[in-house]
Chain A
Amino acid sequence: MIPIPGVLIALLSFPGVIVHETAHLLFCKLRRVAVFDVCFFRIPPANEWFSGTPIGYVMHEKPADFTSSFLISVGPFIINTLLCLFFCFPAFFPVRLHNVFEPSAYFFLWLGISIGMHAFPSMGDAMVLWSEAKSAAARGNVLAILSFPLIGVILLANIGSIVWLDLLYGFAIGLGVPELVLNSLSA
Chain B
Amino acid sequence: MMTVKCHHCGVESPRRETLTIKDQITCDVCAEQVVEECSETLTQADVVRNIDPTVCSWCSFDGGQTELGTVAALPTCEPCEARMRNWPLPGWIKLAFVTLTILGVLSFLFNVRHVQGAFAARAGKRAFASGNLDLAVEKARLAANKVPEFKQYRLLADLFEGIRLLSQDEPAEALKKLQSIAQEAPNDPMVKDLMTSAEISLAFEQHNYDRFLELAQRQQAAHPQDRRGDFQVASALACKYAETGSAEFRDAAEKRLNDLGADRDPDETDYRQRIQHRLTTRRIISRQQFHDKFPRGWKPEE
Contact = CB atoms under 8 A, between A and B. Distances in A.
Contacts of A40: 90, 93
Contacts of A93: 111-112, 114-115, 118
B100 A35 contact: no
26 contacts: A18-B96, A33-B85, A34-B71, A36-B84, A38-B87, A61-B84, A86-B104, A87-B100, A87-B104, A89-B108, A90-B104, A90-B107, A90-B112, A91-B107, A91-B111, A98-B147, A98-B150, A100-B114, A100-B147, A100-B150, A104-B107, A105-B107, A108-B104, A182-B118, A185-B119, A186-B122
Contacts of B87: 25, 28-29, 35, 38
Contacts of A89: 108
Nearest to A90: B108
Interface in A1-46: 18, 22, 25-26, 28-29, 32-36, 38, 40
Contacts of B110: 90
A18 B100 CA distance: 13
Contacts of B100: 87, 111
Contact of A97 (B86, B90, B114): B114
A12 B3 CA distance: 53
B53 to A, nearest CB: 17
A94 interface: yes
B112 to A, nearest CB: 7
B72 interface: yes
A29 B87 CA distance: 7
Interface of A: 18, 22, 25-26, 28-29, 32-36, 38, 40, 61-62, 86-87, 89-91, 93-94, 97-98, 100, 104-105, 108, 111, 182, 185-186
A94 B150 CA distance: 10
Contacts of A90: 104, 107-108, 110-112
Interface residues of B, number: 30
Given A25-B89, A29-B86, A35-B84, A98 B104 contact: no
Interface in B64-87: 71-72, 76, 81, 84-87
A166 B114 CA distance: 29
A34 B81 contact: yes
Contacts of B93: 18, 22, 40
Given A94-B114, A108-B107, A34 B147 contact: no
A86 B118 CA distance: 20
B171 interface: no
B117 interface: yes
A47 to B, nearest CB: 26
Nearest to A22: B93
Given A62-B72, A86-B104, A97-B118, A105 B89 contact: no
Centre residue among B71, B115, B122, B149 by max chain A CB count within 10 A: B115
A128 to B, nearest CB: 15
B149 A98 contact: yes
B169 to A, nearest CB: 35
A34 B72 contact: yes
A158 B97 CA distance: 27
Contact of B86 (A32, A87, A108, A182): A32
Contacts of B118: 93, 97-98, 182
Given A35-B84, A100-B147, A108-B103, 9 more contacts: A22-B97, A33-B85, A36-B72, A61-B72, A87-B104, A87-B107, A93-B114, A93-B115, A94-B114
Nearest to B88: A29
B112 A61 contact: no
